[in-house]
Amino acid sequence: MAFATKADIEAINAEMPFEDRGLPETMYQFLTSVKDRFGQRPAISYQIFSGPNDHAETLTWSEFHAQSVQAANLFRSLGVGETDTVAYVLPNCNETALTLMGGMIAGIVNPINPLLDATQIGAILRETNAKVVVTLKAFPKTDVAQKTAEAVSLAPNVTHVVEVDLLRYVTGLKKFIIPFIRPKNRVTHNAKVVDFTAAVAAQKTEPGFADSQGDRVAAYFHTGGTTGMPKVAQHKYSGMIYNGWIGDTLLFSEDDVIICPLPLFHVFAVHVILMAMISSGAHVVFPTPQGYRGDGVFDNFWKLVERWKVTFVIIVPTAISALMQRPVDADVSSIKTAFSGSSPLPQELFKRFEAATGVNIVEGYGLTEATCLVSCNPLDGEKKIGSVGLPLPYCDVKILKHSPDGVIEMPTDEVGEICVDNYGVFAGSTYTEADKNHDLFHHDVYLRTGDLGRMDEDGYLWITGRAKDLIIRGGHNIDPAEIEEALAGHEAVAMVGAIGQPDAHAGELPCAFVELVQGADVSVDELMAYAEKHVHERAAHPKHIEILDELPKTAVGKVFKPDLRKSAITRVYNAALDKAGVAAQVTSVVESKRRGLVAHVTKTGEVDDAAVTAVLGSFTRPWEWAQ
């Protein structure tokens, strides 16, 4: 379908109600539909190493269907019913996708970020009451097996651990050496251990149980690592199939090949990509267990594009930044589009990527609480750089704000909170814990995203800031409370404010401002060392700590973070300008109703717009000349 303007979206909405489109109701029906249409076409490919000639395994849609059903039968044999949970703590591999699908057919699947520490994984396993955990067998250069074993020891509800051995993907001399250097897993737990490959192969390729009777909750996704218990969002078949239908309708066909070096514990890879593959019959390639983090992936990326004849690149701003530091050293003429999400894309990075590759970037917006997709810049129409595009079909986005007269809708170009209603929104029951759903919806319908934004006259959505207090590092959500609580444990610290400071590569990096106890004396180096020890999540370790005489506070004594953000923007932008030798400095940061925080820049010598843009255009927050 054409996707160029707001009118095109309205035409799709007017064509018929979404419920009348005759889409499958369950994940088994959804997967069977693609098998029946495109059974012999390639579905999913995986290579454990990143070289363009390294061994890869490809499953057709018929094979993927059969093995997903075998996985579902295995989970049922281990006691998993429709309301029971199969968790997985895995890097990317074909078994991860099979566990995802088999888990949703048999019960409720719970993908868990393997970068979390054992206590966090254990907390999620307890919250979701997981019966079965699928994870790695101990393997060189990864501690996933050891962490998961420790987490299972903290979750007595887990009855079985199913182990995936990556050795089967390895060839040559490495296959001989790995068994001798495989680390020992010394943590004990009471769950029974099962081998994934053998146990799945023993199952039938047709379901051994009745399919679900229509829509139900089939996935739990945690929203980010924090101390204690991350929030767990509930996703229904209908929301996942809706996300797949969007990708099929507006982006992909069965002839497309998509490279997706994003993790299969994240909604972007699972709902935006894999569900769209199932809906469209397209072919997805997952390179290396760590995706973009994998050894050699960035160095070999364009050669992988050439190898697989990739038509769509799935990317995030941090990856774009890394790829721009490498030459385009292969034939990439097959690429039609790059689809970017997870965090805002700096305008300068957008322009550099398109200039280097000749490839258009389509930027989209979604969130875990809405299953995922909300809006996207149109493939065939105007791409407003810096916006997140047009709300997608059957997606009602409103800009709402509290007022003395209650909740009101903001007019065009006026900022408020972005609120969403679509088929991915599970109204009233977004999170597994009922108290976390309190005040999460306006009018009991519109999910409050916590993002601030505006809608322009053409219907494009612009994100201007965040109402909810998250640090987004390369698309990874970090709760500042984790940093604040850890640093507040230091005897010299009276109060802490943690924010995300701008970063040209990751979008934001954690940063903390500290007020000391009266008379206390401690160095920044000591506080950095203390944070490294006491902040559990590595991604949340602050990259900058600043000691202030007094933190800015509100009238009721809360830390006033907008002032901290202004200070961080000034410091980071000025350091970047100094490093580049550009004769300009940020002299203030002001709040704009339409653009959020804007850096005001003053000339300190001979300089033009292009020189400043070349430096500051790599950051997501805008700048303008001071008046």
C-alpha to C-alpha distance for 99 and 67, rounded to whole angstroms: 9
Does the pLDDT at position 175 exceed 70? yes
Look up residue 387 and give its DSSP letter.
Answer: B
pLDDT band at 405 (very low <50, low <70, confident <90, very high): confident
pLDDT at 82: 98
- Adjacency order of strands within the sheet including 217-222: 192-195, 160-164, 130-136, 85-89, 108-111, 217-222, 232-236
C-alpha to C-alpha distance for 268 and 554, rounded to whole angstroms: 37
pLDDT tens-place string over residues 472-523: 888 777 878 789 888 988 989 888 899 999 999 888 999 999 989 888 899 9
pLDDT at 300: 98
pLDDT band at 467 (very low <50, low <70, confident <90, very high): low
Does the pLDDT at position 555 exceed 60? no
- HSE toward the beta carbon, residue 553, CA cutoff 13 A: 12
Interior angle at CA 548, CA 543 and CA 549, nearest 5: 165
Q: Picking from 142-156, 247-261, 404-418, which range would have the lowest pLDDT averaged per residue?
A: 404-418
Q: Please, what's the b/e burial string for 493-509 (b: 16 or more CB within 10 A of its CB; e: otherwise)?
A: bebbbbbbbbbbbbbbb
Among the listed residues 621, 565, 564, the one whose alpha carbon sits nearest the alpha carbon of residue 598: 621
- For 136, the enclosing helix (H) or strand (E) is strand 130-136
- Rounded to an integer, the average pLDDT of 138-167 is 96
Does the pLDDT at position 22 exceed 80? yes
- For 46, the enclosing helix (H) or strand (E) is strand 42-47
Among the listed residues 333, 422, 334, 410, the one whose alpha carbon sits nearest the alpha carbon of residue 376: 422
pLDDT at 2: 66
285 close to 310: Cβ distance less than 8 angstroms: yes
pLDDT at 557: 58
C-alpha to C-alpha distance for 537 and 106, rounded to whole angstroms: 32
- The mean of the pLDDT values for the chain is 92
Choose between 469 and 436: higher pLDDT. 436
- Rounded to an integer, the average pLDDT of 120-139 is 95
Q: Picking from 66-75, 225-234, 303-312, 454-463, which range would have the lowest pLDDT averaged per residue?
A: 225-234
Q: What is the amino acid identity at position 184?
A: K
As a three-state string, the secondary structure of 544-581 is: EEEEECCCCECCCCCECHHHHHHHHHHHHHHHHHHHHC
Q: Picking from 166-175, 484-493, 538-547, which range would have the lowest pLDDT averaged per residue?
A: 484-493
pLDDT at 8: 92
Integer-rounded Cα radius of gyration of the chain:
24
pLDDT band at 468 (very low <50, low <70, confident <90, very high): low
Does the pLDDT at position 54 exceed 80? yes
Q: Is the pTM of this model over 0.95?
A: no
Q: Please, what's the b/e burial string for 407-428 (b: 16 or more CB within 10 A of its CB; e: otherwise)?
A: beebeeeebbbbbbbbbbbbee
The 10 Å Cβ neighbour count of residue 610 is: 8
C-alpha to C-alpha distance for 42 and 406, rounded to whole angstroms: 53
pLDDT at 1: 64
Q: Picking from 63-67, 334-338, 525-529, 554-558, which range would have the lowest pLDDT averaged per residue?
A: 554-558
Interior angle at CA 228, CA 227 and CA 231, nearest 5: 100
C-alpha to C-alpha distance for 220 and 110, rounded to whole angstroms: 5
Does the pLDDT at position 99 exceed 90? yes
Q: Is 148 helix (H, G, I), strand (E, B) or coil?
A: helix
pLDDT band at 386 (very low <50, low <70, confident <90, very high): confident
pLDDT band at 187 (very low <50, low <70, confident <90, very high): confident
- HSE toward the beta carbon, residue 613, CA cutoff 13 A: 9
Does the pLDDT at position 432 exceed 60? yes
Choose between 428 and 225: higher pLDDT. 428
C-alpha to C-alpha distance for 267 and 476, rounded to whole angstroms: 12
Neighbouring residues of 374: CB distance < 8 A, sequence distance ≥ 6: 364, 365, 366, 367, 388, 391, 392, 395, 397, 418, 420, 422, 449, 461
277 close to 258: Cβ distance less than 8 angstroms: yes
Does the pLDDT at position 614 exceed 80? yes
319 close to 259: Cβ distance less than 8 angstroms: no
Place of tokens 């251990």: 193
Q: Picking from 106-115, 223-232, 279-288, which range would have the lowest pLDDT averaged per residue?
A: 223-232
pLDDT at 333: 94
Phi and psi torsions of 174, nearest 5°:
-60, -35
Question: Exposed/middle/buried for 181, CB within 10 Å: 0-12, 13-18, 19+?
Answer: exposed
pLDDT tens-place string over residues 205-251: 999 999 999 999 999 999 854 334 678 999 999 999 999 999 999 99
Choose between 428 and 503: higher pLDDT. 503
